[in-house]
Chain A
Amino acid sequence: MNDKVSVDAIAAIDEQVKRASLGDGEAFAAVIAHHYDFIYRTAYKWCGIKSDAEDVAQDVCVKLAGIIRQFDGRSAFSSWLYRITLNAVRDRQREAGRNRRRTDALALVSADEAPPDQEDAVAMGELWAAVRRLPPQQRDAVLLVYAEEMSHAEAGEILGCKEATVSWHIHEAKKTLRGLL
């Protein structure tokens, strides 16, 4: 993730976010240009399909345009962004589910994601597919904790629930995934 970004750069971005939230268009452009990759990568992990991830990323960017003025700096910008991205993923998947595309998409383990010559990678692909099929709250908890390597407390902050609730979701998820683990 972006933990290698220097302290300076973070301060600069925070400044940009602040200015964007006050309505500065240039600062907003800089903020989304800087965070686009983060949004896209998160979306990809959740959806597993490149085109969906790109669409989600675009949704998030457009959504940000409307609501960045409400960002008040009480939580870290990155946590806030996670929340918005996860919501966007869910919205899109709900829509996709209605269109009966979702199940099809999840059934596919796309070629670029799992090189066929590696047994391990295939197994990983199955795991990913299974994780993405989990109920949304369990999926979000598992992905934040294992894919994004957060603590339960950090994940709880993003999901808006208690640390114990995150642990519970993960426990439930592990039960569901037992066959695959």
Chain B
Amino acid sequence: MSDNDDRLAGLSRLEIPEPDAAARRRALHAAMSAFAASGEQKQTSPQGKSLAERLRSILKQKRTWIMDARIPVGTAALVLLLLPLGYQLYSTTALTPQSQTQVAASRHPAVAPQAADTAAPVAAPAKPEAEMQVTQQAPMADQSVMAEPAVPPAAAMAPMQESARAMPNADFSANIAAPASAPLARESFAPQVLAQQTMPSGDSFAHYDENPVKVTAEAPVSTFSIDVDTASYSYVRRMLTSGILPEPDAVRIEELINYFPYDYPAADSAAEPFKPSIAIMPTPWNDKTELLRIGIKGYEPPAADIKPANLVFLVDTSGSMDEPDKLPLLKRALSLLVDRMGDKDTVSIVAYAGSAGVVLEPTHADQKAKILTALENLSPSGSTAGAEGIALAYQLAEQSRIAEGTNRVILATDGDFNVGIDDPDALKTFIAQKRDTGITLSVLGFGQGNLDDATMQALAQNGNGNASYIDSFKEARKVLVNEVGGTLTTIAQDVKIQVEFNPATVSEYRLIGYESRALNREDFNNDKVDAGDVGAGTTVTALYEITPKGSGGELVDPLRYGNGEQASGSGNELAFLKLRYKLPGETASKLMETPVTQSLAVDDIAKASDDMRFAAAVAAFGQSLKDSAYGTMPFAEIADLARGARGPDPEGYRSEFVQLAETAGALKGGK
């Protein structure tokens, strides 16, 4: 029998003559005209008939369809009799299951308690869950219905501080809770979801609420940690260029803004690593309010002062990495970084999942060939758990530790955090402990469909590193070459910003973005509370939307019984900015403060700097993508605003943004 098979297997080796080019042309031509013709007759003649005939012809050859009498007439008659009878029995006896609608109805109320249960231990109230359903519906419902803010800001204020602070810890629980309610929401709004083309991408994002408007008289102080992540922008770009609107939770406005370099004045020395650059201009999406920008640019030490780096690449080699935009891109990205490294730097490589273990012992970066070969030999295979990958990586980092330099683990993955520690909280604690011993962690995200954004963010934040999403070779070059300073050299640690607004001049304010980085007021002076680090040459930008007193743009009504608290500050000051940071390796923080005066404001958008206008355009872009309750702009206007604010733009990032805004506009149907 196997002989037979061998003979038959020969059938796969048939020499097939090439088809005539003319025949091919003829066929394609005929098909095209048929296609055009069928498009025209589409309404009049349904095409289904011919297909049905075809499918039938494969099933039989002898008898014709009409004469096929395999179902005897007697049986048919019996069925006609029994069916109604059976139905009667079925629907009047205990056989009857709950009806569909009952099932659906009883499932809905179950969602809230379930979600609340999972969220409760981390102190996030059930409110975010309920609101998630609101925002899930929002883009699908008629856009104009969306006007009112989801929560009365005053009511939301107190819980907001609390829940926003809990956010990094809540990430995981939100992840668990989300799938429970998301499918339901999708079920009930399925047709609209399709129309909106925000298809579920398979990537997961923690839900968050936008920072609410705050009344200066009640909560004059806003405190947050800086954030140098940029992953959200590359993710959004990738989704938009493939024709899909990103999920609202994937859009983190501060990451969009911080993606772009800004030309802020640099600091003069490493001792005072940055100086804040403040500007105020009218808000493009709201003519009653103003935008306050706080920008800082990290000091760039001269090349000679750059400290040596000790990098450990912790590379995911699971089967899912076997796609052109994952492991192969990762290899090229990391070889770019290796190219930039100096003789004093060391590199090691650890793989986890698949081919687990140490791939390259700590090697000085002057042996580039050796490093590149090791990198090249990484191959994706299987999905077996890599044992203790992360522990191994930290062990190597410890082993080749450079006392006076940067020691960092760079985790590169498509979302598989199966690094040897299963419990997410234990993993974060582990990373935070290692951070305190001086080894930091950066995360590079690759690919699409498996990305676990919340975990990526949480790990990088706990590891004091940056989380970047690498969707293309260009992005790899931006992150690992152009901004390598930021990755390798930290110039200030635990940078916190606190702004106190003057109730005499500002009636309301709202921090745009930074939802996951909010701090308590008292955390500002507490040096034990961790915050983000700034790398050499990195720019960080924060925007506040402020409502000047008497502008009429207030969202919150004044209190009837309030006594209209009198401001003690100077009438010229809008706010007072305080910055805290630690120099690398120091434990005591330093304070930097400066008043924000009315004199910094311009009364016309056109008079503002390119950087200021561009940042505003990016913020508007983010809010419009999220259908923010605090204002959106037509994408065409965003593109125009950004186009006029491109400046020199040597890398083309800003021009790319203009195109992206136009793409988003087209996807949202010109809205």
Contacts and interface: CB of A to CB of B under 8 A. Distances in A.
B24 A36 contact: yes
Contacts of A148: 12
A41 B58 CA distance: 20
Contacts of B324: 6-8
B202 to A, nearest CB: 14
Given A149-B12, A181-B4, A28 B35 contact: yes
A62 interface: yes
B473 to A, nearest CB: 14
A159 B10 CA distance: 22
Contacts of A142: 8, 11
A136 B61 contact: yes
A69 B42 contact: yes
Contacts of A105: none
Given A45-B14, A127-B10, A146-B12, A65 B61 contact: no
Contact of A67 (B11, B14, B47, B61): B47
A28 B32 contact: yes
B136 to A, nearest CB: 25
A61 interface: yes
A58 B26 contact: yes
B180 interface: no
Interface residues of A, number: 58
A87 B32 contact: no
B196 interface: no
A37 B18 CA distance: 9
Given A33-B28, A66-B38, A127 B15 contact: no
Interface string B334-365: 00000000000000000000000000000000
A178 B3 CA distance: 11
A80 B26 CA distance: 23
A69 B35 CA distance: 10
Contacts of A69: 38, 42, 47
A50 B34 CA distance: 24
A42 B24 CA distance: 14
A125 to B, nearest CB: 10
Contact of A112 (B17, B20, B26): B17
B19 A53 contact: yes
Interface in A27-58: 28-29, 32-33, 36-37, 40-41, 44-45, 50, 53-54, 57-58
A62 B28 contact: no
B323 interface: yes
A6 B36 CA distance: 31
Interface residues of B, number: 43
A147 B33 CA distance: 33
B31 A64 contact: yes
Interface string A94-115: 0000000000000000001100
A176 to B, nearest CB: 12
A170 B78 CA distance: 38
Nearest to A62: B34
Contact of A65 (B10, B15, B23, B34): B34
B30 A58 contact: yes
A67 B51 contact: yes
Contacts of A68: 35
B602 to A, nearest CB: 46
Contacts of A136: 61
B67 interface: no
A25 B35 contact: yes
A181 B31 contact: no
A28 B35 CA distance: 8
B57 interface: yes
B54 interface: yes
Nearest to A48: B14
Contacts of A128: 11, 14
Contacts of B59: 160
Nearest to B45: A66
Contact of A54 (B3, B7, B19, B36): B19
A127 B7 contact: yes
A50 B12 contact: no
B39 interface: yes
A6 B322 CA distance: 12
A45 B38 CA distance: 30
B58 to A, nearest CB: 6
B221 to A, nearest CB: 50
A122 interface: no
B15 A70 contact: no
A140 B32 CA distance: 29
Interface string A144-161: 001111000000000110
26 contacts: A7-B323, A7-B324, A29-B32, A33-B28, A40-B24, A41-B16, A54-B19, A58-B30, A61-B31, A62-B30, A63-B50, A65-B35, A66-B34, A66-B35, A66-B38, A66-B47, A67-B50, A69-B42, A87-B54, A127-B7, A135-B61, A148-B12, A149-B12, A174-B8, A177-B4, A177-B8
Given A86-B58, A113-B15, A140-B58, 8 more contacts: A45-B11, A57-B23, A62-B34, A66-B35, A68-B35, A83-B58, A90-B57, A159-B58
